[in-house]
Amino acid sequence: MTEIKIAISCADASDTKSLKVSQARQQILDSVSPIQAEEKKPLRSALGRVLAETIKSPLDVPGHTNSAMDGYAMRGEELPADDTLALKVSGTAYAGNGYNGSCEPGCCIRIMTGAPMPTGCDTVIMQEHAERIGDDVIRIGSGHRTGQNVRYAGEDIPRGSTVFEVGRTLTPADIGILASLGVAEVKTRVRPRIAFFSTGDELVGVGETLAEGEIYDSNRYSLYGMLRRLNVDIIDMGVIPDDQDALRKAFKDAARIADMVITSGGVSVGEADYTKPILDELGDMHFWRIAMKPGRPLVFGKLGDALFFGLPGNPVAVMVTFYQFVQPAIEILASGKAKQQLMIAASASRDIRKRAGRFEFLRGLFEQDDNGKFTVAPTGTQGSGILTSMSKANCFIHLPEENAGVAEGETVLIQPFDALI
Ligand code: AMP
Ligand code: MG
């Protein structure tokens, strides 16, 4: 065979010029600083936002000691040890409309869930554990405990206590808690503005007709989809052709209006791949190669004050690199910290071929059996242009650099796409 001098490429398993995935991730996370600007938001719009103020409780939650059950409120000191006890029902307490009198010895008060505990009562017998033996007489047995079925004022949140710290990303439970405190609006951090565009002379927008050699631009749609699930302002700048002047202008415009600029395509070593030289010219390029598949050519740097990600053009590589690197960076921009990735151990349901040297992110489909045990298999052909491998998947299978192939039954780590918030 004729010998020629060849360059390292994504076809090589061992790739000494590229960063390891963990190094790239660390470098990216180290260069992001959180947005500090603040704005007030009404409670519903604050969902998913990051708090810019400490919330202290203005009141006790619950606000008053109340019943946790529908039943009968009574004096715990009267509970029978091993006998039965008849009690006269001398009134009724509703949630929002308590009993005004006090409960005398030998009596009880019919009480509904959430109603304030009547004076003199400290114990609730649930309705199902009381026997009606007359119009206004009940009988209870033994086995009860003083204080049962009672919720105490401030037992969830005492007045004056710190409920949420600055930097907290508000969940559905959190806005429920804020509502229970009567808080109608909160100070939040302004959310990240993310501008993105596709690059490539071959790209055509949906709704247009394809000429010979053209393809529809799909990356802007998957990017939009991934960004929509985060709490960010999305600025879609369309398709920019492989033209240096047009690209320079788009780079500058994007950096002016956004905290982060994401492009796709044009990051490889082809003759129309201008992302690297233009970032070098207008900003700072931190690195452009990661020993991973898919997604090896990934450009990361700064463009003015904005963070810059030049993602590869291949549709699967866009999604893999977004989830592994861009999303954590957006999380830091928004809140100061990246969420911990949920990883689950699963047994491979078939052999997986791989050579040691680079990190591979396969698109996988996991299943969980009745005992909670996970199995996983790759979703068919794994080419970086095969977007169906991604839409059929429900997880990434992580095969780190040192992994040299997986035998059926071996344990691998998977990263599920969906997890309850
Ligand atoms: P590039 O990195 O520009 O060489 O692109 C790599 C591959 O991804 C080529 O086959 C492109 O046609 C394809 N590609 C680039 N951008 C897009 C896009 N926005 N939508 C779909 N495919 C794309
Ligand atoms: Mg291109």
Q: Which domains does the chain have, with CATH numbers?
A: 21-35+191-335 (3.40.980.10), 38-61+155-189 (3.90.105.10), 66-151 (2.170.190.11), 344-420 (2.40.340.10)
Nearest CA to ligand 1 atom 14: 313
Tell how far the Cα of 98 is from the centroid of ligand 2, in angstroms.
72
Per residue in 7-35, pLDDT (tens digit) is 777 666 666 789 999 999 999 999 999 99
pLDDT at 7: 76
Q: Considering every ligand atom shown, identify the ligand nearest to the alpha carbon of residue 214 and give its number.
A: 1
Which pair of structure tokens corresponds to residue 188? Answer: 């939040």
For residues 267-292, average pLDDT: 94
The whole-chain average pLDDT of the chain stands at 95
pLDDT at 17: 81
Q: Which residue has the tokens 């071929």?
A: 353
Query: Is the confidence at residue 306, as pLDDT, over 70?
Result: yes
Which pair of structure tokens corresponds to residue 293? Answer: 């598949």
For residues 292-314, average pLDDT: 96
Which pair of structure tokens corresponds to residue 253? Answer: 């415009």
Pairing of strands 185-189, 38-42: antiparallel
CA atoms within 13 A on the CB side of 356: 3
What are the pocket residues of ligand 1 if the criterion is a CB atom closer than 6 Å to any ligand atom? 198, 200, 202-203, 215, 217-219, 264-268, 270, 312-315
Within 10 angstroms of residue 360's Cβ, the number of other Cβ atoms is 24
Cis peptide before 116 (omega within 30 of 0): no
pLDDT at 369: 96
Within 10 angstroms of residue 73's Cβ, the number of other Cβ atoms is 28
Tell how far the Cα of 293 is from the centroid of ligand 1, in angstroms.
16
| Ligand 1 pocket mutation pick from 214, 264, 296 by most atoms within 8 angstroms of CB | 264
* Phi, psi dihedral angles at 107 (to 5 degrees): -115, 165
Q: Which residue has the tokens 């799909």?
A: 218
Closest CA to 119 of 143, 91, 145: 91
Atom of ligand 1 nearest to the CA of 264: 16
The span from the CA of 376 to the CA of 346, in Å, is 6
Nearest CA to ligand 1 atom 6: 313
CA distances from 365 to 104, 259, 377, 392, 417 (A): 65, 34, 6, 7, 10
The span from the CA of 384 to the CA of 401, in Å, is 18
Tell how far the Cα of 97 is from the centroid of ligand 1, in angstroms.
66
Per residue in 102-153, pLDDT (tens digit) is 999 999 999 999 999 999 999 999 999 999 999 999 999 999 999 999 999 9
pLDDT at 342: 93
Tell how far the Cα of 324 is from the centroid of ligand 2, in angstroms.
22
pLDDT at 11: 67
pLDDT-based confidence at residue 419 (cuts at 50, 70, 90)? confident
pLDDT at 106: 97
For residues 166-194, average pLDDT: 97
* Phi, psi dihedral angles at 203 (to 5 degrees): -90, 135
Which pair of structure tokens corresponds to residue 169? Answer: 């990303």
Tell how far the Cα of 266 is from the centroid of ligand 2, in angstroms.
4
Stated pTM of the model: 0.90
pLDDT at 418: 87
For residues 368-380, average pLDDT: 96
What is the enclosing helix (H) or strand (E) of 140?
strand 137-140
pLDDT at 5: 75
| Ligand 1 pocket mutation pick from 203, 212, 222, 243 by most atoms within 8 angstroms of CB | 203
What is the enclosing helix (H) or strand (E) of 90?
strand 85-93
Query: Is the confidence at residue 291, as pLDDT, over 70?
Result: yes
Burial class (CB in 10 A: 0-12, 13-18, 19+), 15: buried
For residues 159-166, average pLDDT: 97
What is the enclosing helix (H) or strand (E) of 388?
helix 388-391
pLDDT-based confidence at residue 1 (cuts at 50, 70, 90)? low
Contact call for residues 264 and 203 (beta carbons, < 8 A):
no
Per residue in 191-224, pLDDT (tens digit) is 999 999 999 999 999 999 999 999 999 999 999 9
Atom of ligand 1 nearest to the CA of 267: 2
Query: What contacts 24+ positions apart, CB below 8 Å, involve 107-112?
Result: 107/74, 108/72, 108/73, 108/74, 108/138, 109/72, 109/73, 109/74, 110/72, 111/67, 111/70, 111/71, 111/72, 111/73, 112/67, 112/70
Query: Is the confidence at residue 327, as pLDDT, over 80?
Result: yes
pLDDT at 90: 97
Contact call for residues 195 and 257 (beta carbons, < 8 A):
yes
